[in-house]
A and B are shown apart, each in its own frame.
Chain A
Amino acid sequence: MRRFLLRRLAWFALTVWAVITISFVLMRSVPGGPLSSDRTLHPTVEAAVNARYHLDWPAWRQYLQTLGPLNLDEHGLLGDRSDVFGGILAFDLGPSLQHRDVSVNEIVAQSLPVSAALGVTALGWALLLGLTGGLVSALRPGTALDTGARVLSTLGLSLPNFVIASFLVLALAVALPIFPVAGWGTPAHLALPGFALGAPFAAYVARLFRAGLLETLSQDCIRTARAKGVPWRQVVLRHALPGALVPVISFLGPAAAGILTGSLVIERIFTIPGTGSHFVAGALNRDYALAMGVTLVYTVAVYALNVLVDLAYAVIDPRIELEKDA
């Protein structure tokens, strides 16, 4: 167990480093600085602005500063850091380049709870609908109910989430004004975006769960349990469900990553002030610090979720050895 966690930690460090380096290189290799605008600034002002954001430093120093903060001047590597800010190792993502006087840390701290609430709602919808649908169609295979559930799940996988969102809005907010069209603040604002975001994953969960249940239900132990007179309900709950849940749980990691990605679009449609919409705005406005900070936050989140899923996997199915796939 400890070896598994340590190894995952090493891979995690490598991934984070790769993300930082790639985004740093991308950011600096693009023509046009983040502060260049149509207005030409007075040279003194420009120099002051560049100094404020360390844009006057050579690239390698900027890189170390982003990473560290590490300053390689007369104070040594870790000496006086009063004029160095930012630095991923110090959990400081630096100042935002577009929103003056706000740090990326503050933006993330403000918007992450919003995105988390949305993501949890979406995951809730995905599990609720997916498990119900999968259960229903696996217990009555070949019936109209099964066919209906499968058609619905195939449809959920065939449409982009923003198309699902727009039809939901059309039906449940415009034609029948049950839910608000967009915005943020009350639980009612969560329902539609959460559903639209979770729908493709609900579809996938339903397919996985159906296949898993059908497979476990055809095993000998189930027939034995039935033969010795265990009631059907108990057979399903006690013997079939745990085994059938394993593929669903292993899908939760990719699903969480997908939900984070999907939230970029959903947050924009429903004008939700989450981290995703900040990222898109940051990338489109060339706010490097913001875009890179959010990328990092998401990388960490996805990685942590994947490790949790792997651990849960081992708890459910003791036959799985963690060290092997690490």
Chain B
Amino acid sequence: MSTAPRKGDWFGDATFERVAEQVAGESSPSLWADVRRRLAARASARWSLRWLLALVLASLIVPLLPLPSPAAMALDKQPKPPVAPWVEPFNERFEPYYGELNPLDRALVSVRQKVFGSKQTGPWLGTDAKGRDTLSRILWGSRTSLLVALFAALTSLSIGVAWGAVAGLARSRIDNAMMRTVDVLQSLPTIFLVIFLLSFLNAPSPGGAARSVSRETVFFLVIGAVSWLPMARVVRGQVLSLRHAAFVEAARTQGASTGWIVRAHLVPNVLPIVLVYLTLTLPSVILYEAFLSFLGLGVEAPKVSWGVLAADGAEAISPLATFWWLPLGPAIAMGATLLALGLVGDALRDALDMKRSEA
């Protein structure tokens, strides 16, 4: 390896060949391979990603697990404190009452019944005041919370990114109009309007007239509507600064088409900041769902979400009796998930070497 250059060959062919060999051997990593390597090198990011993956997986297959139904009630001596899994691993009191399920979940539940019969896990995390199993409710509730997060992610990625990109690329008058719209929307006290909207839709209409839109649709629309604004702002800023970046101007002087510039220069450079902002949007949306659920404006029973559980837990606290397991379970689930999202976001930001900028 470390053979000295031949006499008289100052940085001549031999040295050049050696360097070229070395570079080819290492094969310089692409940005994303580099990011992946840096994420994997960080224990907190690794564990966070594992947790998030496990959560998504669990929320997908929860109907198949031998859990009690999240809606089945039992009214004797409730709420029950947690019983350790080694004391009461399973019991045979499964009750197949789930409320309304979509066809896929119904099929999954019937598979579960065929496989496990009336076997179900014991009250490992206790039960609530109506005798519903806390563990099962947390796992079923994760579906709502993750769905809300997914929906918000989709709106930020579609509306937010498109709006920001168009504003950043458009002429300054259009850009101005678009960003002023975002300004006004952001300075509206959205939360108040949201509460207005949801509570009016919840109110029973006098003649018992059927509502044309379900409350859940509105709930999702509302969350989507408020979640894309910061993303639009950030993307627009990034696109604007990229438009005047030296390498983009260089590409343009060399005759590159707009499509090529967008594909080769804009998208790869906007993507990192979008990803990082997504890790900031998702926690705030999950908290938003909890907030609305606390006010009784979230999903309707027997559906359950983390927000509903946390709100139930908060309300179960009184000086007369402490049912500490009711707030604890959902708090740990929610806290761990938001913590994981935050840690992944931090790691991504560091891996992409991005300064924290507040928008």
Contacts and interface: CB of A to CB of B under 8 A. Distances in A.
Nearest to A215: B355
Given A19-B189, A157-B338, A169 B196 contact: no
Contacts of A162: 290, 294, 310-311, 314
A103 interface: no
Interface in B274-326: 283, 287, 290-291, 294-296, 307, 310-311, 313-314, 317-319, 322, 324
A23 B191 CA distance: 12
A47 interface: no
Contacts, number: 141
Contacts of B336: 158
Contacts of B196: 23, 26-27, 283, 291, 295
B8 interface: no
Contacts of A165: 314
Nearest to B200: A30
Contact of B339 (A15, A154, A264): A154
Interface string A26-53: 1100111000100000000000000000
Contacts of A283: 192, 195-196, 199
A interface secondary structure, majority: helix
Given A166-B314, A167-B327, A170-B324, A36 B206 contact: yes
Interface string B324-359: 100100110011111100110000000000001010
Contacts of B319: 173-174, 181
Contacts of A181: 318-319
A279 B311 CA distance: 19
A183 to B, nearest CB: 12
Of B196, B338, B339, B356, which is in contact with the most chain A CB atoms at under 10 Å from its CB? B196
A67 to B, nearest CB: 17
Nearest to B191: A261
Nearest to A158: B338
A159 B342 contact: no
Contacts of B189: 19, 257, 261, 295, 298-299, 302
B187 interface: yes
Interface size classification for chain A:
35 or more
A163 B338 contact: no
Given A36-B206, A158-B342, A174 B291 contact: no
Interface size classification for chain B:
35 or more
A19 B317 contact: no
Contacts of B250: none
A116 to B, nearest CB: 17
Contact of B342 (A18, A157, A261, A303): A157
Contacts of A155: 335, 339
B213 interface: no
A158 B322 contact: no
Contact of B291 (A30, A247, A265): A265
Contacts of A280: 195, 295
Given A31-B209, A170-B327, A211-B356, A157 B184 contact: no
Interface of A: 11, 14-15, 18-19, 22-23, 26-27, 30-32, 36, 154-155, 157-160, 162-163, 165-167, 169-170, 173-175, 181, 208, 211, 247, 250-251, 257, 261, 264-265, 268-269, 279-280, 283-284, 286, 291, 294-295, 298-299, 302-303
22 contacts: A18-B184, A22-B188, A23-B193, A23-B196, A30-B200, A154-B339, A154-B343, A155-B335, A157-B283, A158-B335, A160-B287, A163-B310, A163-B334, A169-B317, A170-B327, A264-B191, A265-B294, A265-B295, A279-B192, A284-B199, A298-B189, A298-B192
